[in-house]
Structure 1
Amino acid sequence: MSLSYLALITGAALSASVAQEAPPPEAAAAAQPAGQAETDAEDEDVTTVEEVVVTGARLRGSVESDIPPEITLDPADIRATGATTIAELLEALEPQTRSGRGRGEGRPVLLVNGRRVSGPREVHSVPSEAIERVEILPEEVALELGYRADQRVINFILRERFRATTVQARAGASTAGGRYSGELDGNFLRLRGDERLILEAEVERATPLFEDERNIRREPGQTPYDLIGNVTGLPYGGEIDPALSLLAGGPVTVAAVPGFGAGGPFTLADFVETAGYTRTGDLGAWRSLLPETESVEVGGTYTRPLNDYVVATLNARLEGSRSESFLGLPGASLTLPSTNPNSPFTRDVLVWRYFDRPDAMRRNADTVSGRLGAAFTGDWDDWRWSLTGGYDVTRSDTETGRGVDANALQAALTAGDPSVDPFGPGAAALLGPGPRDTAQSLTQSGELDFVANGDLFSVPAGDVSASFRAGFNAVSLDSESVRSGLLTERELSRTQGGVQGNLNIPIASTRNEVLAGLGNLTLNLNAAYDELSDFGGLVTYGYGLNWRPNRQWSVIASVTDEEGAPSIQQLNDPVISTPNVQVFDFATGQTVEVTRIEGGNPGLTADNRRVQRLGVTWRPLGEADVTLSANYVRTTVDNPISSFPTITPALEAAFPERFIRDSGGRLISIDTRPVNYDRSQTQQLRWGINYSRPIRRERPTGEGGPRRRGEGGPQGPGAHQGPEGGDGPRPEWRGGGEGGRFRGGGGRGGFGRFGGNPREGRLTFALYHTWNLQNEVVVRPGLPTLDLLNGDAVGAGGGQSEHQAELQSGYYLNGLGARFTADWRSDTFVAGGAPGGAGDLYFSDLATANLSLFADLGARRAWVRQHPWLRGGRVSLEVRNLFDARRGVTDAAGVTPISYQPDLLDAEGRTVTLRFRKLIF
């Protein structure tokens, strides 16, 4: 399906729509009811004016753009999502704000009142009650604001006056047990026109989850380690003792240590019953599926006007996090001489034991980060400008235990110390601390961006608008890693300066009556140049059309060609080695334990990305808000950057140096650091519908008799509040987003004053379907093309699902609400290289659902009258993965490989979270 083919179909459909919308004058006259002509004649006696000029002001806080929002949410829509902060609202709106055009579907651009912010997390903690309106705009608007063309824009319009302190407590648990989490946070927000003060703090903790708390099974390793111990011959695989073989009736190469770890002394006869048997211990109690985590975050933002034209913002944030995970128990193979008094054997043997020292296989990761940001925005004549800057610093430290030092224990056994029993628990006292892998990194970055946008000059169809950006940033990453005693140090810094320009040239305009039959048509041209100290010059250019044939339809077509360098983290992250990672080896059809290597790759090169997009949006008018949209995106990338945790034969053939196998062909190590593939190409069609309908309910009987001022009705909490909290006219807005809806509200006080009457509820529904038409990768020149939709894979989750559907629905009325979301992905398969298809894997489709129930206690006035402390209170119950679903993975024989066990794919499973939140006014 080509871009031109879709454009042809769309153009034909929209042309027919335009032709049907405006009937000819004769038809319009014929449609007049009888007597209408006489009525018009009588009206001629009324005073007539030569010309009527209607002027309209853009809604407060809207983005200065001719491209309307694709979706507009009013307070009732926001309440129906159940979100309590902007961060939660962003999560709820993720399907609507996702972009399929860029690098990893980049995060959306955040604006506040139509202006840039000092940092992406500046307003994450703002309570939802402080939001007056939310606008979601397409990627083309990001270009006009000086951002890249692969990010959607979300504009949060905050209330003019608001003041509240918010405290929230959260407790969550997995219904299968073992994993518990909690959170306590507080926020203070004060809004006074363009002045904004935000203070916030958050503490969060989650307990570890271990393998023995789930149904996890593991294949025994190649070496016979065990908590009690096993004895083998020396060398490994040889006969232990001819005398033992004689007693057992055949050669004995392995025997489990008798008893339950109490120790010896043992006789040769004690080993007859365990001859030929290898004991394997379960280390599930010492292997964590999910680590223990803790985090603390504090921050603040202050925004105020410096004069009538300039608004300044200062933002500071400090965050610290810690995680602790366990990788099992350390093992040691000890040589027990035949002369040792604790040995019953006539030959030297090997004793294989795990030791109860989980700290020796522990991984600790600590991260501390901080940010200081500033922004200045202002207006100059018809131009709006912004100057933003910031400094970020992040320090990360990771320490991984690699076992114990058994030299002292081995020396005691060699010396024949009778007090040291190799089979007893006391032997662990002689173990010393083993080697530890460490990795440290320090990242510092600073940026400065200036953006100006406004009108350059006029052409017959309207004003030619432009935006210009000039920016500079510098980043450094110093890393140091010690792996198996080998020290590796890296220092990498990058400076980048760039300019970007964007032009919007009107071609047709109904307002100016230039080619009015086409509707409104605008041509967009954009280009950017970035000079990187380590990669040289990178060029980006693009062009597109924005066409609105009428108020119901809009079409956006664009082409972007972009050169992009790898991030400094992809180049220079410290190397981290993780032992005992179970993976499925497609080449042999077996699950094996390997050492996985992660980190940066200094050999990466820049990529080149070409994106073609055609987007259509239809907004029919009516009582309900309905928006239908469809986007076709085709992306071709030369030298794409990717990592590959899946170890398929195709990838091993392309990168043999990344896979290490022993002499028997068993995989023992994989290197998953990022690489450049040769080329990739994807095509995607994504369509969706957003539906929102108001629900009105009369005042229930028994809730307090006649209405009084301040208790609902035209002058109650649902009424619009003036700038100082007094009553004022309640605005009604329709169509600002080409079919959007907003019912205003402002002021401060109880729940009802935040976003209209709580008895006016909302029913919302959104459904998106993604159809992946093509997803192909050429790993290296000359190698076959990998078709990720048809048996190939470059990721651990299998190939690419051809279809994905996302459902969201919400209901809110009279303070009570519910939200249901679901996500479905179609099945995939991966063709392996094992003989007879033993390495093939089949991934079932997966459907997950989430349910949230919540109550705004302050909206239940009868409750508040009896319990005033409920005012501003909110309680919610959230269930994630409602049906505890997991993707099923089977091989050609219908057996689930060990590394794809359901509890390994999703260890936490279904979780239940209870929240209580209180707004203090």
Structure 2
Amino acid sequence: MGTHASFCKGTILRVFLSSSLLAIAVSLVPLSAQAQDAVPDGQEPPAQDGGATPPPAEDEDVIYVYGAALRGRVDAVQPPVLELDAEDIAAYGAGSIAELLEALGPQISSGRGRGGGGGPIILVNGVRISSFRELRSYPPEAIERTEVFTEEVAQQYGYSPDQRVVNIVLKSNFSSREIELEYGQPFDGGFSTQQVEGTYLRLAGQSRLNLNLEWQNSSPLTEGDRDILQADSQAPRIPGDPDPADFRTLVADTASLEGTVAWNTTLGAGTSLGLNASASRNDGLRLQGLDSVLLTDGAGNSVLRTFNVADPLAVDSRSTSYSAGASLNTDIGDWQITATADGTYGTSRTRTQARLDTLALVNAAAAGQLALDADLGQFADAGFDEAESDTYRIESLVTARTNPVRLPAGDVSLTLDAGYTGNGIDSRDTRNPLVVTELDRTRWSAGANASIPLTSRDEEFLGDVGNLSLNLQAGVDHLSDFGTLTDWSAGLTWGATDKLTFTATYVARDSAPSLTQLGGARITTPNVPIFDLTRGETVLVEVTSGGNPFLPAQSQSDWKFGVNWQLPFLENSSLQVEYFDNHSEDTTESFPLLTPAIEAAFADRVTRDATGRLTALDSSFVTFAEQDVRRLQVGLNLSGEIGAGRAAEAAAQGRGGPPAAAAPSAAPAPAAGAGQRGPGGGAGGFDPARFQQMRAQFCEAEPAALLELLNATLAASAAGETPPNGPDGQPLAIPPQMLQRLAGEDGRIDPERFAQIRERVCSAEAGQFAGRTGGQGGPPPGAGAGGPARGGGGGRGGRGGGGFGRFGGGPQDGTGRWFANLQYTYEIENTVLIADGLPLLDLLDGDALGGSSPRHTISLRGGVFKDGFGLFAFGNYRGASRIDGSGATGSTDLRFDDFATLSFRAFADLGQRTSLVEAVPFFEGTRISVGVDNVFDARQRVTDSTGAVPLRYQPFLIDPVGRRFEIEFRKLF
């Protein structure tokens, strides 16, 4: 952000970016009601040095306000599509950053590409991290603010523009120990889920330490629990045979345990190091029914026997994963360097109960050696088929960012990146003991991204046009198994006004299928229900999944046009409209739904018996020749405050903060960042007593000694150590974020700047500021002694700014927050050409790949938070669609009705109920949450051409859980 000139009637206000304590005082002075139209003749404008040096001379008619760029902000020409401060985040009721991102849902997902919905890139304080595991368990109370940016910003950090960017700015000082217990189950019963999680977090300046241990468990749910009608009805069963529905799971029996440790520290001025590691284990058991055999009695009648109750057709899986990552951030000259490395090693093993030799049983029955009512349990266990795979992945990326050239419209931003990725997979299968798949790949990459300002209102260069910038990116990848692949993109961003921004981006990219798609272990699962559109029936099929070594590289070209309008009538509210046009060739996909067209294209993947009944399916990955997708996406983000707050109400009734003459004497103040409240406002409000203490520390101490003390405080904060007390023996009343803004690249305060600021602070009186705050005493965001007026709120008695006893850092003056987010997607085109010479499939007009494709989808989220109570609701709508059969005798169409779901979370911060805490101190720092998913127990209705529901699409097969409740207990210590 450069120097910004604003011309008001009567006076000129020039705003500088300045790392100075003057923001505590001078920025509280209201602008004069009288102003001039131009700079006085002969006066030189202040130096454009980012605000580091105040103007050499002052004019009594000019008010200079010094502020600082928001800590951790992303420097991008594209405005954020969503901004959340601490109060906004509190309204989501999330228990961790991972839960917060899940609650944000489609707002952080990209609409670019064939399927859209790609996950976001995560930044911390505006800097890349090695892995999301580094902070996913952080409590949301540790967040100062969150920003969501469009896909184009990803290129500035060395990524391709098909993911949105989420920048999480953490509080400078925060500490918490957290325990979270969670229980959930459907209203219909049948199974339950449990979760226990413990987290420790300490933030001290740039230093961070996080420990997390999480256990999750889910009991099984069977088709018998939901009275599912069975698909296998070839013949009547022998009376007394077990019901296979009791041995077929809708929800698998699973358990997982994961531990994570992450540590970040500073290595000196402008340099930080981060290390993290995790280990996890996941176990799962799902049942695929019972072994069965079709026997014939003496009269030639077929009878179905089910057996092996002791050993049902089970699929037992176990996977373990070990990961470690590192990140290094430093400045070299004018370059900001970020290097990350991340490695993962994983093993997986899948055991599938093998079938008995049913042919031998049939022959034994035909020879009279086996009676229909014989005890089939006498036959030996067939054992297990086992598939194993070992995978590893090592990836590193180095980015270097700088502003190499200054043009008339501003600075050019340049990002260079280079990376290495090595990964491999070894897979084995006992059904093919002589075949071992071993794939290894190395990938070297390099790229460059440049953002070039063309016009600028702030720089007064063709300002009538607005802010126009050009973004160019090019990259090259060399893969050991696919050779050299390239990508490039070009985009324009036009800020027509301060609130209206247009973007246009073109992306051309080649990419290779993953090693999992090429060489994943082939696993054969019995008794999988498949709806056969050709015959209009549901059958149990043996399905083989896994990799396909013959997949080619994919090429992709995308257009994106967008407009972002910051709504002028609501704070932090915006409307975003985006149009996507994607063309892909040689696309890799999972095997699609078995429609007549798909079967004709992949006839060798389908096995039928002599009667035409489907018996086996190879669902390994496939390639389509071309796919074209066009979609329109609209996002609306609204937010606002509820109530005027206790401070404003007090001011309206004439009960504002005490005048300066009545201000309490300077008393020992809590340590900077402790989250104390000023007498007239909420957290971060202007506190006359604290200002007087700061003024005394600045003005009564010997200047050289005080300067060294401030430098020692900065060094202690960077090292995560306890800072020294002030010259009066009391903790420094100077907020640490203000000290950080004073520091230069070497981490120390410039003596000349210190002398200038000391002179200004010592010449100011608290009364001249407190008397102009309207009784609320609150400075502008980022300027107050306690941190940002919105988003930095400490808690009741919070240690180190941690906000203990208070969730979300919400406002302490009684002001509440509300928000509403809506995203609507309209699919204009979605067509697929499987291969040259075959018909073009229209997925929006009866054809299908993985399932039906609705033209309309809507996601709606809303929440409110006030006085420690919150409610978060989210709903989803999916439009109607259909899948056409072949039209031949026996074939059928499928119609998928539109449907909507609504869910909510309600939560209460018991720590804010003073009487309750006094009666039961344990409730300090405690929050109780209750949630209900799918409130109306809605499920999509699927019918065939006759209006009947096929067995494969029974409501409980589509969604076995339905309406579900969840209770969460969370406590910060």
Aligned residue number for residue 828 of structure 2: 773
Selected match of 1:755 from 791, 809, 817: 809
CA contact (8 A) 1:877 1:915 kept: yes
1:546 deviates by 1.2
CA contact (8 A) 1:175 1:911 kept: yes
Aligned residue number for residue 329 of structure 1: 290
1:298-309 matches, cutoff 5 A: 298-309=259-270
1:620 deviates by 2.6
Aligned residue number for residue 283 of structure 1: 244
1:814-835 CA-partner distances (Å, limit 9, x unpaired): 1111111100011001111143
C-alpha distance in structure 1 between counterparts of 2:153 and 2:889, whole Å: 54
C-alpha distance in structure 1 between counterparts of 2:36 and 2:243, whole Å: 93
CA contact (8 A) 1:692 1:762 kept: yes
C-alpha distance in structure 2 between counterparts of 1:835 and 1:411, whole Å: 37
Aligned residue number for residue 14 of structure 1: none
1:602 deviates by 0.5
Selected match of 2:683 from 718, 721, 724: 718
Aligned residue number for residue 3 of structure 1: none
CA contact (8 A) 1:679 1:779 kept: yes
C-alpha distance in structure 1 between counterparts of 2:529 and 2:310, whole Å: 19
Amino acid at match of 2:328: F
Aligned residue number for residue 692 of structure 1: 639
1:287 deviates by 1.0
Change in Cα spacing, 1:357 to 1:623, as seen in structure 2 (3 Å) is closer
Q: Tell me the TM-score normalised to structure 1 length.
A: 0.83
1:609-688 matches, cutoff 5 A: 609-622=556-569, 624-688=571-635
Aligned residue number for residue 271 of structure 1: none
C-alpha distance in structure 1 between counterparts of 2:411 and 2:70, whole Å: 20
Aligned residue number for residue 499 of structure 1: 446
Identity fraction in percent = 36
1:358 deviates by 4.6
Aligned residue number for residue 244 of structure 1: none
C-alpha distance in structure 2 between counterparts of 1:179 and 1:763, whole Å: 35
Indicate whether 1:901 and 2:954 are aligned: yes
C-alpha distance in structure 2 between counterparts of 1:189 and 1:121, whole Å: 14
CA contact (8 A) 1:814 1:860 kept: no
C-alpha distance in structure 1 between counterparts of 2:947 and 2:363, whole Å: 50
1:487 deviates by 5.0
Change in Cα spacing, 1:436 to 1:95, as seen in structure 2 (3 Å) is same
C-alpha distance in structure 2 between counterparts of 1:728 and 1:869, whole Å: 33
* Greater shift in the superposed pair: 845-854 or 588-597: 588-597
Change in Cα spacing, 1:706 to 1:437, as seen in structure 2 (3 Å) is farther
1:486-885 matches, cutoff 5 A: 488-622=435-569, 624-696=571-643, 714=679, 718-719=683-684, 732-733=780-781, 742-746=790-794, 747-752=801-806, 755-758=809-812, 759-795=814-850, 797-798=851-852, 800-835=853-888, 838-885=891-938
Q: Secondary structure at the match of 1:772?
A: strand
Q: Secondary structure at the match of 1:432?
A: coil
Amino acid at match of 1:879: V
C-alpha distance in structure 2 between counterparts of 1:414 and 1:623, whole Å: 81
Amino acid at match of 1:396: S
1:733-756 CA-partner distances (Å, limit 9, x unpaired): 399xxxx99443352343459624
1:21-36 matches, cutoff 5 A: none
1:439 deviates by 1.1
1:63 deviates by 1.6
Change in Cα spacing, 1:217 to 1:285, as seen in structure 2 (3 Å) is same
Q: Secondary structure at the match of 1:839?
A: coil
C-alpha distance in structure 1 between counterparts of 2:362 and 2:837, whole Å: 53
Change in Cα spacing, 1:355 to 1:192, as seen in structure 2 (3 Å) is same
Change in Cα spacing, 1:831 to 1:605, as seen in structure 2 (3 Å) is same
C-alpha distance in structure 2 between counterparts of 1:636 and 1:93, whole Å: 28
1:120 deviates by 2.1
Unaligned runs of 5+ in 1: 1-20, 26-35, 229-259, 262-280, 337-344
Change in Cα spacing, 1:44 to 1:180, as seen in structure 2 (3 Å) is closer
1:221 deviates by 3.9
Aligned residue number for residue 387 of structure 2: 439
CA contact (8 A) 1:201 1:298 kept: yes
* Greater shift in the superposed pair: 775-784 or 59-68: 59-68
CA contact (8 A) 2:262 2:277 kept: yes
Change in Cα spacing, 1:742 to 1:357, as seen in structure 2 (3 Å) is same
Change in Cα spacing, 1:837 to 1:726, as seen in structure 2 (3 Å) is farther
C-alpha distance in structure 2 between counterparts of 1:214 and 1:140, whole Å: 47
Q: Which has the higher contact order (CA 8 A, sep 6+)?
A: 2
1:334 deviates by 7.0
Change in Cα spacing, 1:512 to 1:357, as seen in structure 2 (3 Å) is same
Aligned residue number for residue 711 of structure 2: none
1:907 deviates by 1.0
Q: Secondary structure at the match of 1:126?
A: coil
Change in Cα spacing, 1:410 to 1:833, as seen in structure 2 (3 Å) is closer
Aligned residue number for residue 181 of structure 1: 193
C-alpha distance in structure 1 between counterparts of 2:33 and 2:212, whole Å: 67
C-alpha distance in structure 2 between counterparts of 1:38 and 1:184, whole Å: 61
Q: Secondary structure at the match of 1:822?
A: strand
C-alpha distance in structure 2 between counterparts of 1:774 and 1:22, whole Å: 49
Q: Secondary structure at the match of 2:311?
A: helix
C-alpha distance in structure 2 between counterparts of 1:128 and 1:855, whole Å: 15
CA contact (8 A) 2:535 2:890 kept: no
1:189-228 matches, cutoff 5 A: 189-222=201-234, 224=235, 226=237, 228=239
1:862 deviates by 2.6
1:732 deviates by 3.1
C-alpha distance in structure 1 between counterparts of 2:187 and 2:571, whole Å: 39
Change in Cα spacing, 1:505 to 1:208, as seen in structure 2 (3 Å) is same
1:166-565 matches, cutoff 5 A: 166-222=178-234, 224=235, 226=237, 228=239, 260=240, 282-332=243-293, 353-404=305-356, 423-425=373-375, 427-428=376-377, 430-483=378-431, 488-565=435-512
Aligned residue number for residue 85 of structure 1: 96
Amino acid at match of 2:399: V
1:41-80 matches, cutoff 5 A: 56-80=67-91
Aligned residue number for residue 886 of structure 1: 939
Aligned residue number for residue 700 of structure 2: none
Amino acid at match of 1:771: Y
1:625 deviates by 2.8
* Greater shift in the superposed pair: 866-875 or 61-70: 61-70
1:785-807 CA-partner distances (Å, limit 9, x unpaired): 11111111111x32x11111111
C-alpha distance in structure 1 between counterparts of 2:283 and 2:439, whole Å: 26
Q: Tell me the TM-score normalised to structure 2 length.
A: 0.78
1:11-51 CA-partner distances (Å, limit 9, x unpaired): xxxxxxxxxx99999xxxxxxxxxx999989x999995698
Change in Cα spacing, 1:161 to 1:760, as seen in structure 2 (3 Å) is same
1:783 deviates by 1.3
Amino acid at match of 1:852: R
CA contact (8 A) 2:926 2:971 kept: yes
1:272-291 CA-partner distances (Å, limit 9, x unpaired): xxxxxxxxx63111111111
Amino acid at match of 1:592: V
* Greater shift in the superposed pair: 73-82 or 666-675: 666-675
Amino acid at match of 2:85: D
1:865 deviates by 2.2
1:866 deviates by 2.1
1:55 deviates by 6.0
